[in-house]
Chain A
Amino acid sequence: MGIALDIYRICRETVRAHDGGRLQSVRVAIGELAAVEPELLAFAWEAALAGEEDAGAELRIDWCPALQQCASCGEVKERAPGSWLRLCPDCGQPLQVSGGDELDVLEVTFAQEEPSSEEDPPLAAEEAR
């Protein structure tokens, strides 16, 4: 929940720095080793925005797996999601883990209302008909 609130704070700061508007979506990167469960974060995000001016804004998560790379042959080794290799399946040497600690706000999308003077005339014209 704290993480959702932090993400939302960054979104609001970003929108405010660009003359305001209503948040539509935010794209975040979550690494496999960030100890953040995407589904729980999505749930917390909804709860964090409930009752706020941006309620309903979408949280888009880029999942970033950690890489297991062989120290000996240098290749990044394939593995099933959520499972780990103990040793390099090809040369039996130890593997190095890299990446997967992402917890970043990447991109904020928001909508600014058109100035009302431009929006009103067509409506008024419609009503007059």
Chain B
Amino acid sequence: MKQVVTVRRRALEASETRAESLRQRFAEAGTLVLNLISSPGSGKTTLLEATVRRLASDHPCAVIEGDVATERDADRLRALGVPAHQILTGGACHLDARQVGAALDQARLLPADILFIENVGNLICPTTYDLGEDFKVALLSVTEGDDKPFKYPAIFARAAVTVLTKIDLLPHLPFDVPAVEEQLRSLNPEGIILQTSAITGEGIDAWCGLLTERLTTKRKRV
């Protein structure tokens, strides 16, 4: 006998439930949490180094690093005195809420004002997995080309903030900033677009200002 049952359940409901309990945990800790997503080599760790140099004296920061292999990224942040935990995915292309929960249990990362979760370098799969963050940040380095938002629409449609990195290289590249901004606005009209260079320090103030503003807003709400 054949039976057809209507289900209507989120395919990733188990993962989304875990993410919700993480979100609750972060709310209780009063911690602003960012999920940083970009391709490999776009400058996530370098932006984080510049950010914690600027912020960590006023706002305790912590970092969770996701990589396929090596402790290198966590070591770079630890060298700046920031508590950092490296998740090694062993081949998996994204972090999930279970891994983030385990990292919080294993390492002393909270309390912190801001927790940065640096996802595995990949513009696709990390988009799908909620980590309990307040918002996603997409990074796009100007060396990657100005056609990327429309090529990888899912992440750029969902990231509350897109950071164009390595803008000190703009004079050397045929990278059309207005064209990128137009694509981003089309996919994500409410999204914030920032431009930074971790080398010259350009835009780092605006980026850090946004983070402290969001932290204040979150703590008022809690």
Binding site for B on A (CB under 8 A): 2-3, 6-7, 9-10, 14, 18, 21, 24, 28, 32-36, 66, 68, 71, 83-87, 94-97, 100-101, 103-112, 114
Contacts and interface: CB of A to CB of B under 8 A. Distances in A.
A85 B10 contact: no
A104 B10 contact: yes
Contact of A94 (B10, B157, B158, B185): B185
B6 interface: yes
B5 interface: yes
A68 B128 contact: no
Contacts of A95: 186
B209 to A, nearest CB: 26
A109 B10 CA distance: 17
B51 interface: no
18 contacts: A9-B14, A18-B5, A34-B128, A35-B128, A35-B155, A66-B153, A83-B150, A84-B153, A86-B186, A94-B185, A97-B188, A101-B158, A104-B11, A107-B4, A107-B5, A107-B6, A110-B2, A112-B1
A82 to B, nearest CB: 9
Given A33-B153, A34-B128, A35-B128, A87 B11 contact: no
A19 B43 CA distance: 53
Given A95-B186, A103-B128, A104-B11, 19 more contacts: A3-B128, A6-B12, A6-B14, A7-B11, A9-B14, A24-B2, A28-B11, A34-B128, A35-B125, A35-B128, A36-B128, A86-B182, A86-B186, A87-B186, A103-B11, A106-B8, A108-B7, A109-B3, A111-B1
Contacts of B3: 18, 21, 109-112
Interface in B77-111: 96
Contacts of B56: none
Interface residues of B, number: 33
Contacts, number: 101
Contacts of A84: 150, 153, 183, 186-187
A105 B8 contact: yes
B162 interface: no
A35 B14 contact: no
B124 interface: yes
A50 to B, nearest CB: 19
B50 interface: no
A35 B94 CA distance: 12
A87 B179 CA distance: 12
Contacts of A35: 124-125, 127-128, 154-155
Interface in B11-70: 11-15
A94 B181 CA distance: 12
A96 to B, nearest CB: 6
A49 to B, nearest CB: 15
A97 B11 CA distance: 22
